């Protein structure tokens, strides 16, 4: 099967102030001196996107948001629209992260609606799926992620650039990871669910793995069949750690 270029994305979550732009600058300089063998994306908090876009200057590091509203504008205090992310300099957006699903009650239908909004604004969505520990222990991991793919991925992604991210909830920020065999099994299931939904248009979108990806485990995880990259939380906050992961591709 044709494989697209790997994508390594850093999700800063609710971390990062102006002083942390130095990490993005260090990353940019390192990748200008020695280009990455993959796409590199940083997803800082919305408050930093515009400043980071100026700093990075459309070079080796692309920018993404961490969420967007499904509407284009209106009375939604505190929310950010997809068009605002594009306007600030983002080209991608993470959608349906488990911290949004669990903490903000986002359903598959909400994630699909946000994905439509992101596409309409010209953003490349990174749609997240993943099971809880309870679901894994009940043997439901594959059923859960397959259902999330079917419900969260709108048909309109067909023919557009997009990515999926498999992030087992119990592996996020815990230092725990599934075995390489478990990662492969779920990624194959995500691919099948994507093809079931989109036909051949589901063949090539990268499926990222996320959840406690570190310099020490990145090479092994990135070598697993159907792992098209990584979505990195904690280890993306420091340029040196993130670079070690990027160099593991
Ligand atoms: P950690 O890499 O900190 O486990 O976070 C993963 C994640 O949630 C990325 O979106």
Burial class (CB in 10 A: 0-12, 13-18, 19+), 54: exposed
C-beta of 234 in contact with ligand 1 (< 6 A): yes
C-beta of 154 in contact with ligand 1 (< 6 A): no
pTM, two decimal places: 0.98
Tens place of pLDDT for every residue, the chain, 249 residues? 455 799 999 999 999 999 999 999 999 999 999 999 999 999 999 999 999 999 999 889 999 999 999 999 999 999 999 999 999 999 999 999 999 999 999 999 999 999 999 999 999 999 999 999 999 999 999 999 999 999 999 999 999 999 999 999 999 999 999 999 999 999 999 999 999 999 999 999 999 999 999 999 999 999 999 999 999 999 999 999 999 999 999
Q: Token pair for residue 247?
A: 């160099």
Active-site hit among 99, 131, 167, 226: 167
Each residue of 111-170: pLDDT tens digit? 999 999 999 999 999 999 999 999 999 999 999 999 999 999 999 999 999 999 999 999
Q: What residue spans define the domains of the chain?
A: 7-67+78-127+140-246
Superfamily of domain 7-67+78-127+140-246: Aldolase class I (3.20.20.70)
Looking only at the bridges linking them, the beta strands covering 7-11 and 229-232 are: parallel
The rounded distance, in Å, linking the Cα atoms of 220 and 218 is: 6
Closest residue CA from atom 2 of ligand 1 = 233
Buried b (16+ CB within 10 A) or exposed e, 204-236: ebbbbbbbbbbbebbeebbebebbbbbbbbbbb
């Amino acid at each position: 099967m044709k494989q697209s270029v790997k994508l390594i994305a850093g999700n800063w979550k609710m971390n990062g102030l102006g002083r942390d732009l130095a990490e993005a600058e260090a990353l940019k300089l390192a990748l200008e001196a020695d280009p990455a063998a993959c796409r590199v994306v940083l997803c800082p908090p919305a408050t930093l996107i515009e400043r980071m876009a100026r700093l990075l200057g459309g070079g080796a590091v692309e920018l993404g948001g961490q969420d967007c509203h499904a509407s284009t504008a209106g009375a939604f205090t505190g929310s950010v629209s997809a068009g605002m992310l594009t306007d600030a300099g983002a080209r991608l957006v993470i959608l349906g992260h488990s911290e949004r699903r669990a903490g903000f009650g986002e359903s598959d239908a909400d994630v699909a609606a946000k994905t439509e909004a992101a596409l309409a604004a010209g953003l490349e969505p990174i749609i997240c799926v993943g099971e809880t520990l309870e679901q894994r222990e009940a043997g439901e991991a594959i059923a859960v992620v397959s259902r999330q793919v079917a419900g969260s991925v709108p048909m309109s992604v067909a023919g557009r650039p997009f990515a999926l991210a498999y992030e087992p909830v119990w592996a996020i920020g815990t230092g725990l990871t599934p075995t390489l065999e478990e990662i492969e099994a779920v990624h194959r299931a995500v691919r099948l669910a994507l093809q079931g939904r989109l036909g051949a248009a589901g063949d090539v979108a990268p499926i990222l793995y996320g959840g406690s990806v570190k310099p020490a485990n990145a090479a092994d995880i990135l070598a697993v069949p159907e792992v098209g990259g990584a979505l990195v939380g904690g280890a993306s906050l420091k340029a040196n750690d993130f670079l070690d992961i990027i160099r593991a591709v």
